[in-house]
């Protein structure tokens, strides 16, 4: 079995083709349908590949960890808008800072990022309602999610990995999105084809164009004013997560029937 999260360009010539044409290859696992399409197209001469689409996932929240609620900086009565993840180019950090300037009554909390990436965004940031919390170990994040009224997944069409070594926007399956869902948070996300493989507007999130900040402002205002909508979207996101997007379920699906393949 071979799992791949992007079209690989870092392998010696012929390596991947040799693997994909190996007679004992039973399954190729990819994280999005877009990647399945592009991988099959790249190796069309090999015939139909045994591709299985399995999005990234998350673990259900640990009740004991979630019981330890940390304190957030900022104003106690301000709506709390959260972002958890890397601060690399293409993750929409510029959009979040734009939203903070348009919504001075809201507090924006960004959790994650290397010290260098954090400084690149934080040092020139003019908005006092933006709070950078830096990297936290995964075990500490469970206490953060319940503090946020709304969480953001503001991906741009082009998303880069560390050091801009690769551009993966067309194929990305962001794990933090599934963590948002696991915690039943109301999500506002970029309306991108790859995210629509998991998200549906006004069912488990609100989707907005990544290049239309006023649409995001309107979404945040609507969600913070409507507790019922927040709960409805968050509950459905969590229901779908538990049914479809846990690591346990992913492992079972990826490994299913491999003992009976050639």
185 versus 260: the higher-pLDDT residue is 185
* Sign of the C-alpha dihedral computed for residues 182, 186, 188 and 192 taken in this order: positive
Q: How many CA atoms lie within 13 A of 187 on its CB side?
A: 31
CATH topology of domain 63-244: Rossmann fold (3.40.50)
Question: Distance between the two ends of the chain, CA-based, in angstroms?
Answer: 12
The residue ranges of every structural domain in the chain are 2-57+246-260, 63-244
Q: Give the other-Cβ count within 10 Å of 143's Cβ.
A: 18
Taking the C-alpha atoms of residue 212 and residue 98, their distance in angstroms, rounded to an integer, is 11
Buried b (16+ CB within 10 A) or exposed e, 173-184: bbbbbbbbbbbb
248: left (phi over 0), alpha (psi -120 to 50) or beta: alpha
Which of 164, 181, 255, 197 lies closest to 33, judged by CA? 197
Which of 82, 81, 70 lies closest to 143, judged by CA? 70
Q: pLDDT grade, residue 157 (50/70/90)?
A: confident
Return the C-alpha torsion angle 153, 155, 160, 166, nearest 10.
Answer: 100
CB 137 within 8 A of CB 62: no
Instruction: Please give the pLDDT value at position 136.
Output: 86
140 versus 30: the higher-pLDDT residue is 30
Instruction: Please give the pLDDT value at position 115.
Output: 93
Taking the C-alpha atoms of residue 253 and residue 142, their distance in angstroms, rounded to an integer, is 26
Block residue for tokens 């950090």: 93
Supply the pTM of this predicted model. 0.90
Q: pLDDT grade, residue 262 (50/70/90)?
A: very low
Query: Does residue 94 register a pLDDT over 60?
Result: yes
pLDDT tens digits for 166-208?
Answer: 656 677 878 899 999 999 999 999 999 999 999 999 999 999 9
Instruction: Please give the pLDDT value at position 69.
Output: 59
Q: pLDDT grade, residue 261 (50/70/90)?
A: very low
2 burial type by CB count under 10 A (0-12 exposed, 13-18 middle, 19+ buried): middle
pLDDT tens digits for 29-74?
Answer: 999 999 999 999 999 999 999 999 999 999 998 776 555 556 688 9
- Kindly report the average pLDDT of the chain as a whole number: 90
């Amino acid at each position: 079995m071979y799992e791949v999260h992007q079209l690989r360009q870092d392998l010696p010539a012929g390596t991947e083709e040799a693997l994909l044409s190996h007679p004992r290859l039973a399954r190729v696992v990819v994280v999005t349908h877009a990647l399945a399409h592009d991988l099959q197209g790249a190796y069309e001469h090999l015939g139909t590949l045994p591709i299985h689409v399995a999005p990234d996932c998350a673990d259900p929240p640990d009740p004991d960890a979630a019981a330890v609620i940390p304190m957030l900086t900022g104003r106690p009565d301000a709506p709390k808008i959260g972002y958890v993840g890397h601060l690399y180019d293409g993750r929409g950090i510029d959009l979040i800072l734009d939203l903070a300037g348009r919504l001075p009554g809201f507090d924006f909390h960004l959790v994650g990022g290397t010290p260098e990436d954090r400084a690149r965004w934080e040092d020139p940031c003019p908005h006092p309602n933006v709070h950078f919390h830096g990297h936290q170990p995964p075990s500490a994040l469970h206490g953060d999610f319940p503090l946020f009224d709304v969480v953001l997944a503001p991906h741009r069409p082009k998303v880069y990995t560390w050091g801009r070594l690769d551009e993966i926007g067309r194929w990305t399956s962001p794990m933090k999105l599934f963590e948002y869902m696991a915690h039943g948070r109301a999500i506002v996300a970029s309306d991108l084809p790859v995210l629509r493989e998991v998200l549906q507007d006004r069912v488990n999130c609100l989707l907005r164009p990544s290049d239309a900040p006023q649409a995001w402002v309107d979404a945040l205002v609507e969600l913070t004013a409507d507790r019922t909508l927040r709960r409805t979207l968050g509950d459905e996101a969590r229901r779908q997560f538990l049914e479809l997007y846990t690591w346990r379920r992913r492992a079972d699906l990826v490994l299913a029937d491999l003992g009976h393949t050639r």
